[in-house]
């Protein structure tokens, strides 16, 4: 097996034993990028020279017999709405096409502190608004399992890069399913942490009460290692939890005996593909065979999650995106006759159709005469949804559902019908509204396409979710499957940097 498909924990073991070098891992990943990136299009920016320089520093530490962290020398891809000092952060939008942040997001500083190797910035739906990565202003990312299908969104670039072996680990962000849905479509693990567990400082805001940064990996152990690094209190984020998180590797135990698992009937209703239901039911049968106690539960108000989310999230987006006006930074339209004309032209030309659609929805919901009827009512329903989960977790340790109603759909299949696109997040939206953790794990396949199972827990119970995920993968093996990608031969790794814009 090539180094780019090794788990991070095995690469660490080999680094410590001096069987390989960090530079070899880095070159292997960039070699893989050179082979498949022209098909996948996961990256907006690659950091070839910078990454190799970081890898050499790790090798020098090892040569000096210094102790290295578990993620030292491990390639990590970063969703391009997470700020990176001196490196373009575009949010896949024309309005920020050439924006270079003067600071790092907290998660980037944390990765740098442990000598992880940042290899590039990944594609996304513009400003994280979308479920397919088709809303990127630059290009559409393809699903490694079927290049005619979407990788999911909005963190589609990160999920696709992990699945295709173009990185070992990745970070994404999740506002309504944007980590879990692409993880499910691409057959990898993706975690939306509890709101407040991971700092949002430096994450370009979409909907501030819903956004969370989270990890992608190909197994539960790697996911726990990455979560250990990025979680914890940050004084720069006022919503950050003050208590120190546990060591998540302590939860990597092959045991679910006696665990109480609830299956929300609202997530197994009509509209969920029959074969997807079969995959989830088979996974539940496996958990039962391993000793878990599985019972049905009701989340009565989850049926209102879709309209509630699409009032709250656009309202917050309308406020957050008001800063992109062509005055302070980012794109500015030419040939404006006055300031108001410049505002209009800048925002009309700089934002894509989906972003403009959500800004208009949010502005309408917040406008005089409609605030109480729409936005305030949505906040009240959000409370009811949160209370449903609290009641369920008084009985159950974990809830299980599909991540998506169907496997990955074809590129272009839903772009003409926004409502159908929004429906693809029907199983994930309520989790963000409630602020609880959600983890997508590979659970099986339908017609050769991955299907994800969603594990939900009470606030800050990420350890329990990881224990279930670890137990499931130790007793199945779906996470070991790899997409069969035809590769381009005869290219050197150095050519990878020419496939996408260079880092600045």
The predicted-structure confidence for 190-207, as pLDDT tens digits, reads as follows 999 999 999 999 999 999
The pLDDT, as a whole number, for residue 329 is 85
Give me the DSSP letters along 382-442: HHHHHHHHHHHHTT-SEEEEESSSSSPPBTTSSTT-HHHHHHTTTTTHHHHHHT--EEEEE
Look at residue 489 in the predicted model and tell me its pLDDT: 56
Please tell me whether residue 338 adopts helix, strand or coil conformation.
coil
pLDDT for 424: 87
pLDDT of residue 499: 41
What's the CA gap between 283 and 73, in Å, rounded? 35
User: What is the per-residue pLDDT for 357?
Assistant: 95
Q: Where are the domains of the chain?
A: 3-302+383-498
Say which residues have a Cβ less than 8 Å from residue 388's Cβ, sequence separation at least 6: 298, 299, 300, 301, 302, 434
Tell me, yes or no, if 286 is annotated catalytic: no
H helices, E strands: number in the chain: 15, 11
Closest by CA to 188, choosing from 150, 167, 216, is 216
- Going by C-alpha positions, the residue among 252, 167, 151 that lies closest to residue 218 is 167
Q: DSSP labels for 140-178?
A: PPPBTTBTTB---SSSHHHHHHHHHTS-SEEEEEESSST
Phi, psi at 64, each rounded to 5°: -85, 5
Q: Could you say which of 132, 136, 158, 178 is catalytic?
A: 178
H/E element, 449: strand 449-456
Q: Which two tokens stand for residue 220?
A: 């539960």
Closest CA to 286 of 444, 462, 466, 480: 444
Residues 21, 41, 61, 79: which is the catalytic one? 79
Closest CA to 157 of 305, 302, 42, 295: 42
Orientation angle between helical segments 377-393 and 305-320, nearest 10 degrees:
120
The domain covering 3-302+383-498 belongs, at the CATH homologous superfamily level, to: Amidase signature (AS) domain (3.90.1300.10)
For helices 305-320 and 353-366, the axis angle rounded to 10 degrees is 100
Give the model's pLDDT for residue 486: 77
Count of residues making up the chain: 504
Q: Which two tokens stand for residue 243?
A: 């208590």
Please state, as a whole number, how many other Cβ atoms lie within 10 Å of the Cβ of residue 213. 28
Residues whose CB is less than 8 angstroms from the CB of residue 56 and which lie 6 or more positions away in sequence, other chains included: 22, 23
- Give residues with Cβ within 8 angstroms of 504, minimum separation 6: 86, 87, 88, 100
- The CA distance from 172 to 490, in Å, is 32
Residue 419: predicted pLDDT: 83
Spatial contact of 77 and 42, defined as CB atoms under 8 Å apart: yes
Q: What is the pTM of this model?
A: 0.95
Would you state the structure tokens that stand for residue 31, as one six-digit string?
């070699």
Q: How many CA atoms lie within 13 A of 206 on its CB side?
A: 30
178 classed as catalytic: yes
d(CA 17, CA 382): 51
At residue 355, the 3 state secondary structure works out as helix
> What is the spatial distance between Cα 168 and Cα 77, in angstroms, rounded to a whole number?
8
Cα torsion 264, 269, 271, 277: sign: positive
Tell me which residue has tokens 């429906």.
423
The span from the CA of 231 to the CA of 171, in Å, is 12
Rounded to 10 degrees, the C-alpha dihedral 484/499/133/4 comes to: 40
Which residue's structure tokens are 């991955």? 450
Q: Which residues pair with 115 in a beta bridge?
A: none
Whole-number pLDDT of residue 402: 97
Ranges of residues in the chain whose predicted pLDDT is under 70: 488-504
Q: Which helix (H) or strand (E) holds 44?
A: strand 43-46
Report the C-alpha gap between 361 and 36 in whole angstroms. Answer: 38
Whether residue 79 lies in the annotated active site: yes
Round to whole Å and give the CA distance between 399 and 264: 7
Nearest alpha-carbon partner for 479 in 445, 429, 426, 441: 441
Output the pLDDT for position 253: 98
Residue 401, both tokens: 């559902």
């Amino acid at each position: 097996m090539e180094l780019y498909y090794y788990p991070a924990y095995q690469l660490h073991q080999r680094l410590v034993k001096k069987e390989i070098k960090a530079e070899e891992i880095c070159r292997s990943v960039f070699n893989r990028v050179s082979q498949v990136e022209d098909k996948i299009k996961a990256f907006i920016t690659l950091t070839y020279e910078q990454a190799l320089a970081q890898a050499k520093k790790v090798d020098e530490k090892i040569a000096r017999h210094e102790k290295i962290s578990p993620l030292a020398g491990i390639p990590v891809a970063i969703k391009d709405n997470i700020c990176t000092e001196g490196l373009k952060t575009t949010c896949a939008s024309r309005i920020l096409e050439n924006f270079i942040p003067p600071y790092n997001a907290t998660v980037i500083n944390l990765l740098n502190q442990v000598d992880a190797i940042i290899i590039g910035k990944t594609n996304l739906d513009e400003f994280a608004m979308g479920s397919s990565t088709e809303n990127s202003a630059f290009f559409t990312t393809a699903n490694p399992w079927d290049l005619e299908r979407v990788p999911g969104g909005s963190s589609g670039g990160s999920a696709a890069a992990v699945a295709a072996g173009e990185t070992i680990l990745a970070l994404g962000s999740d506002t309504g399913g944007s980590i879990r849905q692409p993880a499910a479509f691409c057959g990898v693990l993706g975690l939306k942490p509890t709101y407040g567990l991971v700092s949002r400082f430096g994450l370009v805001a979409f909907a501030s009460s819903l956004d969370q940064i989270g990890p992608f990996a190909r197994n539960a152990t790697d996911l726990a290692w990455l979560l250990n690094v990025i979680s914890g209190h940050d004084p720069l984020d006022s919503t950050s939890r003050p208590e120190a998180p546990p060591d998540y590797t302590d939860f990597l135990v092959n045991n679910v005996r006696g665990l109480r698992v609830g299956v929300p009937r609202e997530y197994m209703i009509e509209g969920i593909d029959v074969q997807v239901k079969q995959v989830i039911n088979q996974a539940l049968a496996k958990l039962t065979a391993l000793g878990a106690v599985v019972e049905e539960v009701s989340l009565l108000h989850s049926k209102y999650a879709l309209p509630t989310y699409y009032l709250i999230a656009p309202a917050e987006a309308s406020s957050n995106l008001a800063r992109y006006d062509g005055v302070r930074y980012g794109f500015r339209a030419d040939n404006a006759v006055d300031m108001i004309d410049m505002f209009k032209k800048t925002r009309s030309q700089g934002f894509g159709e989906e972003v403009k659609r959500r800004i208009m929805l949010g502005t309408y919901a917040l406008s005089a005469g409609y605030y109480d009827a729409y936005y305030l009512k949505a906040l009240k329903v959000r409370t009811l949804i949160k209370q449903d989960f609290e009641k369920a977790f008084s009985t159950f340790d974990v809830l299980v559902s599909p991540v998506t109603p169907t496997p990955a759909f074809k590129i272009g299949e839903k772009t003409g019908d926004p409502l159908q696109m929004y429906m693809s997040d029907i199983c994930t939206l309520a989790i963000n509204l409630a602020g609880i953790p959600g983890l997508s794990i590979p659970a099986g396949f339908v017609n050769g396409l991955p299907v994800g199972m969603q594990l939900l827990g009470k606030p800050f119970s990420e350890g329990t979710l990881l224990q279930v995920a670890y137990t499931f993968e130790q007793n199945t093996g779906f996470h070991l499957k790899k997409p069969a990608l035809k590769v381009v031969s005869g290219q050197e790794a150095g050519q990878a940097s020419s496939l996408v814009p260079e880092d600045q």
